[in-house]
């Protein structure tokens, strides 16, 4: 098994810097489940005095009782009655910590607020009238991103303006994910990334002494494996009707990405289906995507699965569970996964290439410093055919337009010329344009010669894509 704490060094350093300030801190940490929030907090807390409470989906009385037990254990107190309110509990801690720094973590904070909506106002009053003058380092942590952004961080929240820091913890980049895959080739690393995703806990399931095929069979195609039930277990934790939510994710995994397509596929009313989709977006399981340059409210909207592991699971495991249950995992690999996986990797490769561009942009290593990036799709007014561009980035004036090819032959001039034509359909009156080509297996001699002659053509092969600098 891999070392658990990988890839969050910057976040840890930032927390320690805040801790060193020796004043009241209210830090808000949020991100989807399994993303590594608790691991980061445990690493942060391990050399510090701390009370770490994980809220449960029970009532307020039981949560207070369990919290009281932890507090009294920390202070070596016995035979004391449980706190009657959170105000009493936090005031007790604050009084004991006047001169000594303490980290207080409340994990799964939304569970508490759902049972007592007044808790946010109670915390606000505590901070304003007592805690802000103390020495407490308080962390509120949650997995329900929509709730944390609106109810804790939002402008209408009683806690608005009280936080001293926040972190939306996001999945690993492909380059950080590659640290879990030492010994594999660059192409294998990306293939593993496409199956196991960007979540630390899932990446830890990769065994470096196994082939890609062996890793897939062990981790997904056995009914005893950790990942075999994982998406369903997560849904059951978060939603009341996991069957409908699961059907939506499966539909998207199969290529039904428009709202009307999804509702038709699962046989649900369109408005009702949109509510479910919105919840899945708030949980970080799905994402909403509009064509580049369109407003968020545009009808040119698609939905995708945020986590590659979820996408892989719903495409290959969920639909083949009966076969896997009967021990036919090898057949599922041979008949369903292996012949299709190159096609599956197309979108994964696009996302990786976009991550590369964002990272290079942050380092100032691209010909423009873009402020927006995305995919574009539309209709060619001449041919009336649908046209798609994998990557478009813009700085308000100039463009960087890209094509991503995950295939076993070298990218040729036809791809370059095709991209230039698609760029004209997108915007025939654009100003300066650079074309960036990404290829799994490199480029033909003709393409490389063209790039030599034209500085507006950028070539990125898989070796360059995987460089860690």
User: What is the value of pTM for the model shown?
Assistant: 0.88
Residues above pLDDT 90, as percent of the chain: 85
Distance of CA 117 to the CA centre of its chain: 28
Q: SS3 for 204?
A: coil
The first and second tokens of residue 101, run together, are: 């720094």
The pLDDT mean for the chain works out to 93
Residue 71, φ and ψ in degrees, nearest 5: -65, -50
Percent above pLDDT 70 for the chain? 99
pLDDT grade for 4, boundaries at 50, 70 and 90: low
The per-residue pLDDT for 351 is: 96
pLDDT number for residue 7: 79
Q: Is 355 a residue whose pLDDT tops 80?
A: yes
Question: What tens digit of pLDDT does each residue of 146-183 get?
Answer: 889 999 999 999 999 999 999 999 989 898 899 899 99
Q: Domains along the chain?
A: 9-168 (3.40.50.300), 175-339 (1.10.10), 346-465 (3.40.1350.10)
pLDDT of residue 3: 42
Does the structure show a pLDDT above 50 at 2?
A: no
Asked if 86 and 122 count as a contact pair (C-beta separation under 8 A), the reply is yes
pLDDT on residue 310: 96
CB 442 within 8 A of CB 411: yes
**Looking at residues 430-459, what average pLDDT do you find?**
96
DSSP string over 101-138: -EEEEEETHHHHHHH-TTHHHHHHHHHHHTGGGS-EEE
Q: How confident is the model at residue 202 (pLDDT cuts 50, 70, 90)?
A: very high
210-214, 283-287, 409-413: least confidently modelled range = 283-287
Beta strand segments in 72-216, E = 102-107, 136-142, 165-168
Hey, what long-range contacts does 323-330 have (CB within 8 A, 24 or more apart)? 324/221, 324/222, 324/223, 324/228, 325/223, 329/217, 329/221, 329/222, 330/217, 330/221
Instruction: Provide CB contacts within 8 A for 40, sequence distance 6+.
Output: 8, 11, 12, 15, 29, 169
pLDDT-based confidence at 115, cuts 50/70/90? Answer: confident
Residue carrying the six token digits 């046989």: 267
Contact 392, 376 (CB under 8 A): yes
Determine if residue 154 is left, alpha or beta; phi over 0 gives left, psi from -120 to 50 gives alpha, anything else beta: beta
Residue 84 Cα distances to 121, 130, 150, 326, 426, angstroms: 17, 18, 28, 53, 63
Residues 376, 354: Cα–Cα separation, whole Å: 13
Q: Check residues 296 and 247 and name the one with the higher pLDDT.
A: 247
Q: Is the confidence at residue 273, as pLDDT, over 90? A: yes
**Is the predicted pLDDT of residue 228 greater than 50, yes or no?**
yes
Per-residue confidence (pLDDT) for residue 468, from 0 to 100: 60
Pairing of strands 102-107, 136-142: parallel
Q: Give the other-Cβ count within 10 Å of 455's Cβ.
A: 9
């Amino acid at each position: 098994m891999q070392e658990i704490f990988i890839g969050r060094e910057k976040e840890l350093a930032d927390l320690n810097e805040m801790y060193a300030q020796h004043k009241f801190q209210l830090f808000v940490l949020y991100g989807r489940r399994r993303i590594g929030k608790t691991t980061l907090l445990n690493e942060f807390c391990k050399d510090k005095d701390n009370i770490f409470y994980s809220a449960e989906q029970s009532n307020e009385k039981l949560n207070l009782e369990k919290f009281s037990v932890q507090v009294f254990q920390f202070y070596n107190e016995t035979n004391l009655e449980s706190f009657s309110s959170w105000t009493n509990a936090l005031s007790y801690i604050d009084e004991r910590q006047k001169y000594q720094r303490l980290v207080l973590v409340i994990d799964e904070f939304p569970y508490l607020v759902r049972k007592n909506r007044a808790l946010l106002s109670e915390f606000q009053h505590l901070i304003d009238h007592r805690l802000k003058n103390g020495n407490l380092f308080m962390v509120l942590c949650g997995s329900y991103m929509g709730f944390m952004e609106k109810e804790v961080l939002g402008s209408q929240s009683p806690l608005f303006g009280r936080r001293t820091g926040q972190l939306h913890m996001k999945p690993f980049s492909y380059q950080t994910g590659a640290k879990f895959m030492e010994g594999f080739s660059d192409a294998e690393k990306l293939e593993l990334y496409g199956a196991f995703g960007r979540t630390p806990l899932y990446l830890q399931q990769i065994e470096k002494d196994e082939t890609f095929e062996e890793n897939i069979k062990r981790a997904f195609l056995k009914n005893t494996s950790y990942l075999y039930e994982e998406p369903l277990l997560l849904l059951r934790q978060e939603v009341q009707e996991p069957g409908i939510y699961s059907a939506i994710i499966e539909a998207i995994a199969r290529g039904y990405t428009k709202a009307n397509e999804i509702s038709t596929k699962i046989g649900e009313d369109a408005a009702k289906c949109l509510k479910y989709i919105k919840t899945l977006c708030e949980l970080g399981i799905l994402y909403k995507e509009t064509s580049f340059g369109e407003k968020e409210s545009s009808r040119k909207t698609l939905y995708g699965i945020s986590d590659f592991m979820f996408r892989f699971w719903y495409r290959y495991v969920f639909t083949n569970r009966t076969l896997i249950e009967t021990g036919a995992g090898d057949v599922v690999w041979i008949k369903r996964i292996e012949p299709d996986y190159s096609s599956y990797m197309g979108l994964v490769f696009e996302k990786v290439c976009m991550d590369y561009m964002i990272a290079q942009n942050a380092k100032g290593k691209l010909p423009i410093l873009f402020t927006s990036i995305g995919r574009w799709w539309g209709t060619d007014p001449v041919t009336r055919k649908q046209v798609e561009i994998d990557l478009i980035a813009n700085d308000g004036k100039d463009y960087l337009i890209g094509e991503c090819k995950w295939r076993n032959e070298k990218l040729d001039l036809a791809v370059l010329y095709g991209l230039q034509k698609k760029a004209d359909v997108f915007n025939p009156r654009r100003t300066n344009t650079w074309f960036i080509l990404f290829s799994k297996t490199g480029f033909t001699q003709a393409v490389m010669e063209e790039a030599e002659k034209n500085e507006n053509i950028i070539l990125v092969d898989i070796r360059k894509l995987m460089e860690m600098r």
